[in-house]
Structure 1
Amino acid sequence: MPRLVILFFALNLAFAAISRSLAEDVSATADESPDIRRITFRDKDDTSRTILGEVMQEAQDGGVMMKCDDGRIWIIQPDQITDREKIADEYSPISPDEAAQRMLSELGDRFSVYQTPHYVILYDGSEVYAKQVGSLFEQLYKNFFTFWKNQRWQLPEPDHPLVAIVLKDHDSFLNHATAEIGPTAKSMIGYYNLASNQMTTFNVPNWERNVSTIIHEATHQLAYNCGLQQRYADNPMWVSEGLATFFESPDMRNPGRWRAIGRVNQVNLARWKSGIRNRPDDSLATLLASDQRYKDAETATFAYAEGWALTYFLIKTSRKEYVAYLQSLSQGKPLAERSARERVEMFEAAFGPLDKVDKSFLTYMRRVK
């Protein structure tokens, strides 16, 4: 089974309920000057926590969605809040050194820190492996921004530290991840968490699979930290997962095991070719209209394959239109959902009628090797 959805979608049902509450009854803040506050609240384990950050949305009952100075997003119910204070001083994200110290205080003294120019890596195993992972991160970072610059999309670099937690083995990963995300951790070897803005992985003996996971999840993290995608906005999963699988393909002939963006993803190509025989006529429509196929274990494998194939096809044949489509999606607001019809209509406005796109898509993918 492929890695599951971006972790937020399996993170916490309570978050979804709070999000719906905020979405139904919010005070807009996007077009005003930043609303910076210091809020003290009781966390889910009933510990007191004080955070400083920018209010993204606020409900009339006092519930808030807030981006903290370390890049985390908190969704806080009014009955959790014990104190709130509006801050007039200038606000800025914490530094990488501050992020490292904050993470060490949370994770404990069995962890060490390795910093690269753009990443803060917390690890509990081999420093050599942490440096390997850091090298992959930096390769991706450079190539990611170069790729989009070549598409004439000058994305801003992240303003919050990019934090990654690298565990020494599967047991260590399960201990950490299960506490954060629950039993879903058993089916994963890595994930990016929309709420914490951190990615987590461990040292998998299969290095090819390891490289794919590291690049895949780090692509999610970059996309959500440079404005390509907005956290908690309506980001179709075929877009998010299609991009991550487009970027991830390892190159086992290369000592670094990853060197270029957009190589044919052989794993997903094989899954695409295997599933195409039973592909329903409305497969493209259902992929666009809803994320359900990614969430269902019986349909997830082919959904990932089709999402990769569609992304590959559009970038290779309609690159300008694809970038414009992503730019439109990037304007989405947190908690604002599009209907199934709106999703399909937005796609057709960018690429043309669905039946014609699907015909061209199938024809093109038959030639891909």
Structure 2
Amino acid sequence: MLRWLGWWAGLALWSAVAVARADAVAGRTVARDAGDLAETTTAPAETVPTPVEEAIPIDEAQEAALIREVGEGFAIKRTPHFVVAHNVAQALSDDLTQRLERTYSAIYRFCGHSTIDAHRPSRRLAVLFFNDRSDFDRFAATIGFPAANTYGVYNEPTNRSAFFNVATDPGMIELQQGVAAARANLEQMNQVLREIRGRRTVVEVEFADGRRVQFTRSQATAEIASTRHRLARIEQRRENLIQYVNRSIIQHEIAHQVLHNAGVHVRGARNPKWVVEGLAMMFETQPGAEGAGIAGVNQMRLQDFREAVAGGVPSAGLGPDHFLQAVAAGRLVPLERLLTDSSLFTGRGEHGTADYALAWSLMHYLHRTRGEMLAAYLRELGQRQPGVPVSSADELALFERHFGPPDESLTRRWSSFILGLAVRSTSYR
């Protein structure tokens, strides 16, 4: 009898890590293998080719300040509209900077198409890109940002975005190590089976949880094939998580930075949080010819919206009555609270996910059905002054002046429109 130390019990744990990581709601970052690091701060600054639009002038004082901020071992990478201080491999920095520029262009196309006032910044937007998760955490602590379970951030007071190589996140490292060990064990088991003679030979497998199971050669072969299939699914979830972080999270945080520097949001002013988050989520989708968010539906947020409305029951045939029932049950907040309560967007978990989905859905609805009114509303918000308080009553009055009262009638029209959108599967689900 042959004995093999099994590992199947660990696969569910590794899969759960990947799924939990993909459920983060707010600031986060990119993922790829790290490769060689930039070795010196004295290397010439690399510049991404300039598009048709003229690049923002180089500001060497700004670049020097960034290097002082992050310390030795970082290099400067320029794009037409961004300056990035980083210590990652060139392939990783190239991927990030291309995404920055695509998001920047998508936002201005979106604003132009939607007649939303947006001016061009006079300085390149500053981004920090750390190779190590621990360095990102230390930076986050200096700005008072709770970095746990996040992958990046735009910080309004410092006007910086910061990200890190998610391959260095402890959860991702654990996942990568587990998958690698599993693949090695599979190959070892195959080698053992190749050495077995006779169809009736019994193989005893000891699982990670202490269970021992006996297999014949054919049973063990079938189990290995099944486990290879499960492992492939887990590896796909890992790749999907990378794409989720790489696309949705970076574009979300950079959208915050661009919109705050374009005057759509006023830095230091009381910007309604549902507007700030709702607009950023319009740019989590892949940019299209007219700019991200114009023709596309954010399928991740749509599915979050539908799940909150459904409350765990089958979601076919959902309508406004189901939405109102979800509000009454506490799964969703009323429209008035969404418009006035900024604390909704500081939480995570199921409620945080639902609140973000609500903000996206209202922004998407107003853009698609009340575009001129939305542009006028954003123009008025763009006239607010830093440090001037705005009461909840004033916030509601401004919304009502442009869109009508936030009552049941509007709630029904809004929820009916969103629940009528076509649902497609997403790679990170």
TM-score of the superposed pair, with normalisation by structure 1: 0.70
Deviations 1:288-315 (A, max 9, x none): 1221222244632211010001011111
**Which segment drifts farther, 198-207 or 93-102?**
93-102
Of 374, 377, 393, 1:325 maps to 377
Match of 2:174 in 1: none
| Counterpart amino acid of residue 186 in structure 1 | A
- Whole-angstrom CA distance in 2 between matches of 1:191 and 1:134: 16
Q: Which residue of the partner structure matches residue 176 of structure 1?
A: 139
* Structure-2 change in CA distance of 1:279 and 1:341 (3 Å): farther
CA contact (8 A) 1:272 1:305 kept: yes
Q: Does 1:293 align with 2:332?
A: no
Aligned to 1:84: none
Matched residue, 1:226: 262
Q: Structure 2: how far apart are the matches of 1:108 and 1:295?
A: 30
Kindly indicate whether the alpha-carbon contact (under 8 Å) linking 1:208 and 1:250 is maintained by their aligned counterparts in 2: no
SS in structure 1 at match of 2:148: helix
Whichever residue aligns with residue 194 of structure 1, its letter is E
Alpha-carbon distance in structure 1 between the residues aligned to 2:344 and 2:382 = 23
Residue type matched to 1:326 in 2? L
1:246 match: 282
Partner of residue 123, structure 1? 86
Residue number among 337, 342, 367 corresponding to 1:315 in the alignment: 367
1:212–1:169: structure 2 CA closer, same or farther, 3 Å change rule?
farther
Question: Is 1:141 matched up with 2:141?
Answer: no
149-158 or 320-329: which moved more? 149-158
Q: Is contact 1:3–1:189 with CA below 8 Å preserved after alignment?
A: no
Q: CA contact under 8 A between 1:5 and 1:295: conserved in structure 2?
A: no
Match of residue 326, structure 2, among 248, 255, 279: 279
How far did residue 134 of structure 1 move?
A: 0.7
8 A Cα contact 2:270 2:389, kept in partner: yes
Could you tell me which residue of structure 2 aligns to residue 363 of structure 1? 416
Shift of 1:179: 3.5
Say which SS state the counterpart of residue 186 (structure 1) adopts: coil
Gap change, CA 1:5 and 1:233, over 3 Å in 2: farther
- Name the aligned partner's letter for residue 279 of structure 1: A
| Alpha-carbon contact 1:159-1:225 (below 8 Å) kept | no
1:365, distance to aligned residue in structure 2 (A): 1.0
Contact 1:204–1:210 (CA under 8 A) maintained in structure 2: no
Q: Distance in 2 between matches of 1:108 and 1:135?
A: 24
The CA distance in 2 between the partners of 1:250 and 1:112, in whole Å, is 29
Partner of 1:103: 66
Return closer, same or farther for 1:162/1:95 CA change in 2, 3 Å cut-off. same
Matches within 5 A, 1:1-369: 1-4=23-26, 95-181=58-144, 184-205=146-167, 206-250=242-286, 260-262=292-294, 263-277=296-310, 279-280=326-327, 283-297=334-348, 299-355=351-407, 356-369=409-422
Q: CA deviation at 1:110?
A: 1.0
Structure 2: distance between partners of 1:289 and 1:5: 21
* SS at structure 2 position matched to 1:121: strand
| CA apart distance, 1:224 | 0.8
Q: Which has the higher helix share?
A: 2
Q: Report if the CA contact (8 A) 1:203-1:210 is conserved.
A: no
Q: Secondary structure at the match of 1:199?
A: strand
Larger proportion of strand? 1
Instruction: Name the CA distance, whole Å, in 2 between partners of 1:153 and 1:270.
Output: 28
Shift of 1:193: 0.5
306 and 312 in structure 1: CA distance in 2 versus 1, 3 angstrom threshold: same
Q: Kindly state the Cα deviation for residue 269 of structure 1 after the two structures are TM-superposed.
A: 1.0
Contact 2:27 2:249 in 1 (8 A): no
Gaps of 5+ in 2: 1-22, 29-55, 168-241, 311-324, 423-429
Cα displacement (A) at 1:210: 2.0
Q: Which entry has the higher C-alpha Rg, 1 or 2?
A: 2
Counterpart-to-counterpart distance in 2, 1:152 and 1:288? 23
The separation in 2 between residues aligned to 1:164 and 1:5, in whole angstroms, is 14
Cα distance in structure 2, aligned partners of 1:339 and 1:217: 27
**C-alpha deviation, 1:204, in angstroms:** 2.5
Report if aligned partners of 1:136, 1:215 keep a CA contact under 8 Å in 2. Answer: yes
Mark the CA change 1:209 to 1:4 in structure 2 (over 3 Å): closer, same or farther. closer
SS at match of 2:271: coil
Contact 1:123 1:167 in 2 (8 A): yes
Post-superposition offset of 1:94: 9.2
For residue 38 of structure 2, what is the aligned residue in structure 1?
Answer: none
Q: Distance in 1 between matches of 2:396 and 2:73?
A: 49
- Kindly state the Cα deviation for residue 349 of structure 1 after the two structures are TM-superposed: 0.9
Amino acid in the other structure paired with 1:323: A
Query: Using the alignment, how far apart are the partners of 1:361 and 1:153 within structure 2?
Result: 21
1:247 positional shift? 1.0
Instruction: List alignment gaps of at least 5 residues for structure 1.
Output: 7-92
Amino acid at match of 1:155: A
Tell me the CA shift for residue 95 of structure 1: 4.5
Q: Which residue of 2 aligns with 1:17?
A: none
Q: CA deviation digits over 1:10-60, x for unaligned, max 9?
A: xxxxxxxxxxxxxxxxxxxxxxxxxxxxxxxxxxxxxxxxxxxxxxxxxxx
Equivalent residue pairs, number: 277
Distance (Å, rounded) in 1 between the aligned partners of 2:398 and 2:117: 23
- Give how far 1:99 is off: 1.1
Q: What's the offset of the Cα at 1:342?
A: 1.4
Worse-superposed segment, 270-279 or 259-268: 259-268
Q: Distance in 2 between matches of 1:357 and 1:144?
A: 27
CA distance in 2, matches of 1:170, 1:342: 41
Q: Distance in 2 between matches of 1:336 and 1:271?
A: 34
